[in-house]
Amino acid sequence: MEVDRAASSGAAGESSSAAGAMGVEKPRFEALAPSEMSGGRPQFRKVPVPQHRFAPLKKAWMEIYTPVYEHMRVDIRMNLKARRVELKTRQDTPDVSNLQKCADFVHAFMLGFDIADAVALLRLDDLYVDSFEIKDVKTLRGEHLSRAIGRLSGKGGKTKYAIENSTRTRIVIADTKIHILGSFVNIKVARDSLCSLILGSPAGKVYSKLRAVSARLAERY
């Protein structure tokens, strides 16, 4: 009898606590607008302009300004005194990540990528720019270094274009520095091919490897 009474009192306590829990509403917090983040202060990014990219930037300024200001809704200006491009969020910037995308877009142009290729950084989320130097792969000097750069480009840029088309990346060879724009997996494939060329592999061997890797990537996707 006492056991039944204890069980019934326990059940009553559970039902009352459940009713109490049902009666309490959880607080709901609305998502912060980008302009309200960081205490409502605008966020900035500054991209330095190298000396040799100043004239191309001046020539293509409107092509850079239009997608950044009108589509991404981020303020952009050229600071002539400090020689850098400055970016700032606005009240109507739809997403806080737009600022970093715009900074990456401008930086890619400074590295030497065409605007048509660099603008993909604004539209797609999984694109990156990877940079390395020839000396990171192998220490070369004099004519050996010149021959390595020649192997990377090929006659009339043939080798570079073949790697770009098969891996769906874009490559800029600026003296001893190499910049690759693409997705993470494709950058890795392109970088492996370029490293093989730097280490002395003939172009034909690199092409055959690329064909095999490209076929595997096509099967995966």
Please check the confidence at residue 30 and state whether its pLDDT lies above 60. yes
| Comma-separated ranges of CATH 3.30.1370.10 domains in the chain | 41-125, 129-220
Mean pLDDT of 58-85: 92
Rounded to whole angstroms, the Cα distance separating 69 from 87 reads: 10
Residue 180 CA: distances (Å) to CA of 24, 124, 136? 55, 16, 15
pLDDT at 106 over 90: yes
DSSP code at position 51? G
> Which pLDDT value is given to residue 220?
67
Of 8-17, 56-65, 170-179, the one with minimum mean pLDDT is 8-17
- Predicted confidence band at 29 (pLDDT cuts at 50, 70, 90)? confident
Query: What is the tally of helices (H) and strands (E) in the chain?
Result: 11, 6
Angle at which helices 184-198 and 143-153 cross, to 10°: 140
Q: What is the CATH T-level fold of the domain 41-125, as seen in this structure?
A: Ribosomal Protein S8; Chain: A, domain 1 (3.30.1370)
Q: Which fold has domain 129-220?
A: Ribosomal Protein S8; Chain: A, domain 1 (3.30.1370)
Asked if 89 and 35 touch (Cβ cutoff 8 Å), the reply is yes
Q: What is the mean pLDDT of residues 114-125?
A: 90
- 168 Cβ neighbours under 8 A, 6+ residues apart: 182, 183, 186
